[in-house]
Structure 1
Amino acid sequence: MTTQLENAVREALDQLADAPPPADLAQAAIRTAGRQRTARLAVAGVAAFAVALAAVPLAVGVLTAPDDDLSPAGTGPGPAAKPFVVTAYSGVNNPGDPGPADDYSLLLDPDTGEYDKVPFNEVVPSPDGSQVLVHEGDNSLAHPSRRGVLNRESGKVRWLPGSAGYTSGASWSPDGRQILITNRPKAEDDPGPGFLLVDAATLATRQVEVPDVSTQNTNGLAFVWTPDGTGVALTHSVSDSESEPGRVTGIGFYDLSGKRTRVLRVTGGSLDEGSGFSPDGSRIALDNRFGSDRIQIVDAATGTVEEEFSVPTAGTVVGWYDSRHLIVKDYGDRDLTERPSLKVVDLTGKVTKTVQLAEGSDTAQRVHVGSSLGTATEKLAF
């Protein structure tokens, strides 16, 4: 069995402990091996962050072999394009470990340009980089699950109260003041389906129930923030067959009280955590994570398909580079003779930049990118 196939089966088993997935999830995962690996609840770590972080002196976001003219007159991004850098690799498989409880992450130190190997499976840096949402455990008796907020300056973690550790799909609001966590109950005494809003300063938690999580979310996806931070969105999906992933029927938009405000009728793919909306919020990149490698760009107001194209090596969207380009993770070939990388592609799928990822990050569940301005990594920006 190849490494990539093993990872696909492993991912399928991980997801069984999280959202209610399609019944034939292992087959679906194998079919989409190399595609985006769903952010899972099971994460690794230790009880406290007092242990010293192990520095991993690896280059970050090195630009190689540009394939296009990136001047304002060319097809590439103009001078206003934000310089990006990889800020974290979340959930790296620990070699020889059969389960997720001992997985770790790589977190960029902006002062040194090196990665710290941290004992958490899930790490999500805040928009300004000063805090990091972390998760440990796999929701088992041996490894209880919990979430916390790591202060980068002090190295201390404040742990979220109660059931917040057993939920999934966590992301920061655009202003970094709130944390959005999708809640999919697993036990009768768990909170109802919907999402949790956590105040990042006080960790005060508010539960918001949304029945659509149970009735129209057979793919088990997470809520995402709208660009203005005043609402959230969820990709609706229903199952036509127990042996196939759910069929996408649209994107539901909700205010922060859980009231549905509108539904965007799209069927070409899913809105992913933090990566789907264009910089100005006018368009959405839909990633067909359970099927083909086709990406659709749709109008955020009408759902009209503006562009449709394939991405390299069954890659998956990480985010928007600028209004005319996406950042895509290329998973490399099946035997990993060609390592995974990030690629900047235009809205026809043409590659304009290739960014090599850090050594040891090939199996990361998720790659996070952010601005490199004002950091020691600015010269390595892409």
Structure 2
Amino acid sequence: MKEFRLIDDVMPDVLPPDPGTVAEARARMRRVRRGRPHAWAGVLVAAAATVAVIGAVTLTPKLGDVPGPPRAAGPIAGDSVAIPLDRASAVPGDVRTDTEHSPPQRLIAAGSLAVSAYSIQHWETVSGDLKELRRTWYLYNPGTGAYEETAWQWLDVAPGLRLAAVLEGDLPSKRLGILDMSTRKVLTWIELGHPAAGLAWSPDGRRILATSYGEHPDRVELVAGDENQMKRFPSTRTGFSIVDVATRQTRFTALGPLTHLGGADGGPTNMNARQDLEWNLDGSLIWGPTDSHPDRVFYDLHGQPHATPPETYVEYSKESAVSPDGTRVITGRPLRVEERTSGKTVGRPRVLQLLAWADDDQLIGVGCAGECAYEHRNGLVLVSADGKKSTQLSGFRENDKVGRWEWLLTRR
């Protein structure tokens, strides 16, 4: 077990960490209130989900469906495919660590949460000074207990860690696959009328939210060929599709991006090209990220603006800030845990960032070892709500460099 020390004013991960972008991020940080992240970073963690057991449904693939990339998919198995959507409850006290490897090789999990996958980023030249940020995904295999490389450029894992949604080929993609994580076979393909580059499973595991773009959302252009100066393009988000997994029916809704100007009313802004949409905590609404305050804007399932629901989130995250039993809440900077009714401080966990509640008494966070002289060398930790106990879950990563691994947390 290692000691983890709190850094109140730590810079979050930003896309992507070249010197020019980091300088821009730090400048923008100074323009917002002290200690609050300026933008959504990397891959958002999986949505908080219910623990109800849901029965299996049957999908009927269309004739002519074919498998995707050979490293990631096998043939469609027959004319009908049973898709298991049931979930096993997490065993209390079950903590899985892999501190010897970074990125991890074995399952990392605690309480109701697990690292279902992780990605490693790299720049790829498209033409001339035009580059795209590509991701190599490593997906958990329940059969082997290990993370295995895939050929997909984007994926998300369903609650329960049995199914993954994947996008075929280059982004944005017109085909979404449902992948059996144990067999590594695509159980069915679903055609998207509007190409997507982001995916999010609903909390109940029955629907998928696919965010559509006109162009690859992680594309930049070098300024005069200088690797340290990159011009980012405006977001080309066009809308979203809601996919019913059981029926394979999709419904597209147009919804343009936020801009750095915040619209005519000077509302929330977002200067990032990737503006993936996410489900709210109960799956009745969706929301889009901002790089301002408030940190998200809500919409109904038809893309109409919606009032903010009475939900409390971990800031700049899709996870609930409230403990599963409803008694405590993550709040403030410096980070602390409070009783919801009295506001009394329960503890100040010694971490850089709190990500999500693992159970009623423990949280998963980001921490760094020893005196933490270099906050960018960090990893996943499990901490008690009172801040008195911490357990290292993963090895450390250098998160100010391209090539670092980015975890995906999913309810198991």
The TM-score with structure 1 as length reference comes to 0.58
Name the residue aligned to 1:367: 408
The alpha-carbon deviation at position 308 of structure 1 amounts to 9.3
Point out where structure 2 has 5 or more consecutive residues left out of the alignment. Answer: 1-11, 45-66, 74-94, 100-109, 126-130, 216-232, 263-267
The alpha-carbon deviation at position 107 of structure 1 amounts to 1.3
The alpha-carbon deviation at position 183 of structure 1 amounts to 5.1
Say if 2:205 is the partner of 1:176: yes
Name the residue aligned to 1:126: 158
Q: Distance in 1 between matches of 2:305 and 2:251?
A: 18
Aligned residues between the structures:
305
Residues 248 and 270 of structure 1 are in contact (CA less than 8 Å); yes or no, is this contact kept in structure 2? no
Q: Distance in 2 between matches of 1:363 and 1:174?
A: 28
Say if 2:129 is the partner of 1:92: no
The alpha-carbon deviation at position 24 of structure 1 amounts to 3.0
Q: Cα 1:310–1:207, aligned 2, differ >3 Å: closer, same or farther?
A: farther
Say if 2:296 is the partner of 1:232: no
Q: Distance in 1 between matches of 2:288 and 2:338?
A: 17
Q: Distance in 1 between matches of 2:251 and 2:336?
A: 34
The alpha-carbon deviation at position 311 of structure 1 amounts to 5.7
Of residues 369, 392, 398, the one that matches 1:354 is 392
Q: Cα 1:266–1:173, aligned 2, differ >3 Å: closer, same or farther?
A: closer
The TM-score with structure 2 as length reference comes to 0.54
Residues 287 and 296 of structure 2 are in contact (CA less than 8 Å); yes or no, is this contact kept in structure 1? yes
Q: Distance in 1 between matches of 2:313 and 2:115?
A: 28
The alpha-carbon deviation at position 173 of structure 1 amounts to 0.7
Q: Cα 1:267–1:88, aligned 2, differ >3 Å: closer, same or farther?
A: closer
Of residues 165, 183, 200, the one that matches 2:196 is 165
Q: Cα 1:254–1:279, aligned 2, differ >3 Å: closer, same or farther?
A: farther
Q: Distance in 1 between matches of 2:326 and 2:286?
A: 13
Question: Aligned partner of 2:209: which letter?
Answer: L
Point out where structure 1 has 5 or more consecutive residues left out of the alignment. Answer: 1-6, 17-21, 42-46, 54-59, 65-80, 138-142, 238-245, 372-382
Say if 2:251 is the partner of 1:206: yes
Q: Percent identity?
A: 21
Residues 13 and 41 of structure 2 are in contact (CA less than 8 Å); yes or no, is this contact kept in structure 1? no
The alpha-carbon deviation at position 132 of structure 1 amounts to 0.8
Q: Distance in 2 between matches of 1:344 and 1:164?
A: 38
Q: Distance in 2 between matches of 1:223 and 1:306?
A: 34
Q: How does 1:1-382 map to 2 (within 5 A)?
A: 11=16, 24-25=24-25, 38-39=41-42, 48-51=68-71, 61-62=96-97, 82=111, 84-89=113-118, 91-93=119-121, 102-135=134-167, 143-146=170-173, 148-152=176-180, 153=183, 155-156=185-186, 158=189, 160-166=191-197, 168=198, 170-182=199-211, 192=238, 195-209=240-254, 213=258, 215=262, 216-218=268-270, 222-234=276-288, 237=290, 246-249=291-294, 252-263=297-308, 270-274=315-319, 276=321, 278-279=323-324, 285=330, 294=335, 312=350, 314-317=352-355, 319-330=356-367, 340-357=378-395, 363-371=404-412
SS at match of 2:405: coil
The alpha-carbon deviation at position 230 of structure 1 amounts to 1.9
Q: Cα 1:279–1:226, aligned 2, differ >3 Å: closer, same or farther?
A: farther
Point out the structure with max Rg over C-alpha.
2
The alpha-carbon deviation at position 231 of structure 1 amounts to 2.1
Q: Distance in 2 between matches of 1:183 and 1:308?
A: 42
- Range with greater deviation from structure 2 (204-213 or 102-111): 204-213
Question: Aligned partner of 2:408: which letter?
Answer: V
Residues 286 and 299 of structure 2 are in contact (CA less than 8 Å); yes or no, is this contact kept in structure 1? yes
Q: Distance in 2 between matches of 1:267 and 1:321?
A: 16
Q: Distance in 2 between matches of 1:185 and 1:268?
A: 30
String of CA shifts for 1:124-153, please: whole Å, max 9, x gaps. Answer: 21113232123466xxxxx54326334213
Q: Distance in 1 between matches of 2:336 and 2:117?
A: 24
Residues 200 and 278 of structure 2 are in contact (CA less than 8 Å); yes or no, is this contact kept in structure 1? yes
Q: Cα 1:145–1:164, aligned 2, differ >3 Å: closer, same or farther?
A: closer
Q: Distance in 1 between matches of 2:211 and 2:248?
A: 16
Name the residue aligned to 2:265: none
The alpha-carbon deviation at position 117 of structure 1 amounts to 1.2
Q: Distance in 1 between matches of 2:381 and 2:176?
A: 31
Question: Aligned partner of 1:163: which letter?
Answer: H
String of CA shifts for 1:36-62, please: whole Å, max 9, x gaps. Answer: 972369xxxxx9332269xxxxxx932
